[in-house]
A and B are shown apart, each in its own frame.
Chain A
């Protein structure tokens, strides 16, 4: 099946710094990528949808200036958490779709801890 990777798998950063998370589709071209965040014992919350070469579409309540999303190629999307604060600590998950169907392939997730 299609494989999606994320890097790093976990990261610890100090409050006020920025962190970049990469999401890669390894064996297919992803026309659309999605970013989610998940707090402990809660469901995944969609943050934004990005299509290759265009600006991301953010869900209501998600600050686009704080969570910068770039989808520069058909195999790579990045999420940058700017000026991170402890409340940004969460599990961030990306998914990718080839656009030929409705199936999304999920990455393994990135655990962000802001101290």
Chain B
């Protein structure tokens, strides 16, 4: 299973764009990259998933370079309610695709 490395914490202000980068140097060919958001005492919530290049949905964008050894979650114009822990997971369909959570990134959005 590919191990992921993220910054432990990040601070931002309301209205700013936040980019959180995740390193996954030993990502396998069939691995996808998935980002989750977790608030205290709640289960993780799916944000976005991608395999390569760029993926965009209504809440975020995911940028994946050609070598796929890293990925960047981009949150446009964050608000106070985006204060949470963000996890980058790497996993594939092989063997039941279990995923291992890294430490995650604690994002603090200030007014």
Q: Which residues of A contact B (CB under 8 A)?
A: 1, 4, 6, 32, 34, 36, 43-46, 49, 51, 57, 91, 93, 95, 97, 101-109, 111
Contact = CB atoms under 8 A, between A and B. Distances in A.
A19 B23 CA distance: 38
- Closest 10 A-B residue pairs measured CB to CB? A106-B43, A44-B101, A43-B101, A102-B32, A106-B44, A109-B43, A93-B43, A102-B97, A108-B43, A49-B98
Interface in B89-107: 91-93, 96-104
Given A102-B32, A103-B49, A32 B96 contact: yes
Given A102-B32, A102-B49, A46 B98 contact: yes
A111 B97 CA distance: 26
A105 B46 CA distance: 7
A7 B91 CA distance: 28
Contact of B104 (A43, A49, A108): A43
B101 A45 contact: yes
B41 A43 contact: no
B87 interface: yes
Contacts of B42: 108-109
Please classify the interface of chain B as helix (H, G, I), strand (E, B), loop, or mixed, using the class held by over half of its residues. loop
A34 B98 contact: yes
Nearest to B49: A103
A108 to B, nearest CB: 5
Contacts of A109: 41-43
Please classify the interface of chain A as helix (H, G, I), strand (E, B), loop, or mixed, using the class held by over half of its residues. strand
A104 to B, nearest CB: 7
Contacts of B41: 91, 109, 111
B54 interface: no
Contact of A46 (B45, B93, B101): B101
| Among B32, B46, B103, residue most surrounded by chain A Cβ atoms (within 10 Å) | B46
B70 interface: no
A102 B34 CA distance: 9
Interface string B38-57: 00011111100100000000
Given A44-B101, A49-B96, 16 more contacts: A1-B46, A34-B98, A36-B101, A43-B87, A43-B104, A44-B44, A46-B100, A49-B98, A57-B96, A93-B43, A95-B43, A97-B97, A102-B92, A105-B46, A106-B45, A107-B43
